[in-house]
Amino acid sequence: MREVKGIVKNFGSVFFLLVPLLVLPTVHATQIISGSGPFSTTVISSVTSLVDGIAIIQETFTLSLTGLFVGTTLGTALVVIDLSTGSGVFHGMQTFTGTANGVAGSFQMSFSAEITGFTSFQGQFTILTGSGGLSNLHGHGTIAGIVNVSGTYSGTFTFT
């Protein structure tokens, strides 16, 4: 009888030690995704200033994206172009609303690019913060295309 009481007592001690493990948060695996797709641009408004042969343009725009990201963005950009060479740069911020890999939500991203020949651009973007189902989305990638017309994006993204 003492053996049974000892076994029950030891089981109770072990059980008591294991109970806290039941309330620990579940560990989620990080999902790494590579993806790409096209986008088209619509300029909503722009203000242009000319200074010594340099065009300085402030734009508000939308993008329509398909591929890994399906949805729209609303953003602002500062574009600077040397009118004598057609070379320039742009940078800005935008907010995406839609789905990423089928998960709904929104996120903010920064972007920057170099312009050549007045129209072509190549650059990069970084996802900064998200909300909804995309609150744990992080990533960065490349962009390329025709200024204020269309382009493509490609990158590596993680859901943590």
C-alpha distance from residue 41 to each of 83, 137, 146 (Å): 22, 23, 9
What number is the average pLDDT over the span 34-39? 98
Rg of the chain over all Cα atoms, to the nearest angstrom:
25
Q: What domains does the chain contain, in order, with CATH numbers?
A: 28-159 (2.40.350.10)
Q: Is residue 12 over pLDDT 60?
A: no
More confident residue, 67 or 24: 67
Q: What span, in angstroms and rounded, lies between the C-alpha atoms of 37 and 140?
A: 14
Residue for token pair 């909804």: 132
SS3 15: helix
Question: Residue 7: CA atoms inside 13 Å, Cβ hemisphere, count?
Answer: 4
pLDDT tens digit string along 115-159?
999 999 999 999 999 999 999 999 999 999 999 999 999 999 999
Is residue 63 within 8 A of residue 40, CB to CB? The reply is yes
3-state helix, strand, coil in the chain (%, to 5): 15, 65, 20
**Checking DSSP bridges between strand 69-82 and strand 54-65, what pairing results, if any?**
antiparallel
Q: What is the band of 16 on the pLDDT scale with cuts at 50, 70, 90?
A: low
